Structure 1
């Protein structure tokens, strides 16, 4: 029975109780009828209010929530202990959303993070090719004030030089190469040129000073560069 039918039935009950009350002669009967009339009138008022609220909802349906778009998390920090590699993700107000909105999944060589509906956006990060395997069952997340902490459990207690094998390969690629058949002094000069080109002002001043001193020493038979 919907609200309209319930209201119709209660209105009929009120009319009949009014009619009975008019014809009742004994006080006890009158009191009983009055009490029942009050109860039915109260219930009728409640049903009418519910009917009005229902009508307002149907006339003004709530706006559909806007679909959240997804952004990539590109900034993070990491450090390590003997047992864990720790990744820090700074996300303002992340501690204010439901904990189930922060999802982290682990495999032996990767982890992925999805933070849903934070300030109208989803925040996502995936890291593949971890430097060493992790124990996904004992890895976990912590949600702190304005931060998500990813705890990757090491399978072996060895120090990580970087987070991923890709970073390691990149670092190795950037190292100056040394040709064993080449003149050692030429290799040293190539390395110094690279350090000079990439160094800051202080580094450049140090190299210039060492170079000047080495040229002076060459006049006296000492061709070693001293730093």
Structure 2
């Protein structure tokens, strides 16, 4: 069904809703019909905008080539449920372009996104080396207002500690090495030295204060860990 036919069907729906509203007597029913009218009107406006964009592209065949350069999507958010990992891409106006302009491809351990001809640019993103495998056939996209939501179906229902293997390796690299035979107080001392050397002025003042108070308590004979 092309856009013209879709608009015609929506307009027929709107007309029928209006007829029902005129006959409705109960306020609750009237309000439900009014809300549905607003939804249909909004959908009609969106379809008309898509039709105008389509007409401009057909009138100027070179228009698609004007979106010649591609920008990388670098900012995203992610969350998870028991069954899905959800990736949120904020792209202003993405809900106004044809849905087929938003392409998402999934593999067992990755996904890629290509949003074509949005504000005269293509927007691209690839996430590889996912922490755990996903189910390709049950993964999908959702287009919301100013947002693309990527739904990656987990093959195994369990919590992911991070999104990719790269993030996991980075976290493990940043962890301080632990010697099982080392004196715990020496490990604490090393950690405090690292925090002190990397901290800002406020952090250094806090550590200095704690050190001073610790030494004062030691001199008074109180049982206090030696920093």
- The normalised TM-score by structure 2 is 0.66
Query: Can you list the C-alpha shifts for 1:18-46, whole angstroms capped at 9, x where unaligned?
Result: xxxxxxxxxxxxxxxxxxxxxxxxxxxxx
Q: Counterparts of 1:180-199 in structure 2 under 5 Å?
A: 180-199=180-199
Distance 1:162 1:102 in 2: 26
User: Shift of the alpha carbon at 1:148?
Assistant: 0.4
Structure 1 residues 133-142 or 210-219, which shifts more? Answer: 210-219
Residues 108, 117 of structure 1: alpha-carbon distance in 2 compared, 3 angstrom cutoff = same
Asked if the contact 1:210–1:225 (Cα under 8 Å) also holds between the matched residues in 2, the reply is no
Q: Counterparts of 1:1-227 in structure 2 under 5 Å?
A: 64-65=62-63, 66-199=66-199, 203-221=203-221, 222-224=223-225
Distance 1:93 1:62 in 2: 22
- The runs of at least 4 aligned residues of structure 1 exceeding 6 Å deviation read none
User: Shift of the alpha carbon at 1:102?
Assistant: 0.2
User: Shift of the alpha carbon at 1:194?
Assistant: 2.0
Q: Secondary structure at the match of 1:211?
A: helix
Distance 2:186 2:152 in 1: 44
Query: Can you list the C-alpha shifts for 1:175-227, whole angstroms capped at 9, x where unaligned?
Result: 1112334443332111112223444666444433321221112214434159x
In structure 2, runs of 5+ residues without a counterpart are 1-58
Asked if the contact 1:108–1:134 (Cα under 8 Å) also holds between the matched residues in 2, the reply is yes
Distance 2:77 2:134 in 1: 18
User: Shift of the alpha carbon at 1:167?
Assistant: 0.1
Residues 176, 223 of structure 1: alpha-carbon distance in 2 compared, 3 angstrom cutoff = same
Aligned residues: 166
Asked if the contact 1:87–1:151 (Cα under 8 Å) also holds between the matched residues in 2, the reply is yes
- The normalised TM-score by structure 1 is 0.66
Query: Can you list the C-alpha shifts for 1:58-79, whole angstroms capped at 9, x where unaligned?
Result: xxx9583324211110000001
Q: Which has the greater radius of gyration?
A: 1
Residues 63, 117 of structure 1: alpha-carbon distance in 2 compared, 3 angstrom cutoff = closer
User: Shift of the alpha carbon at 1:116?
Assistant: 0.5
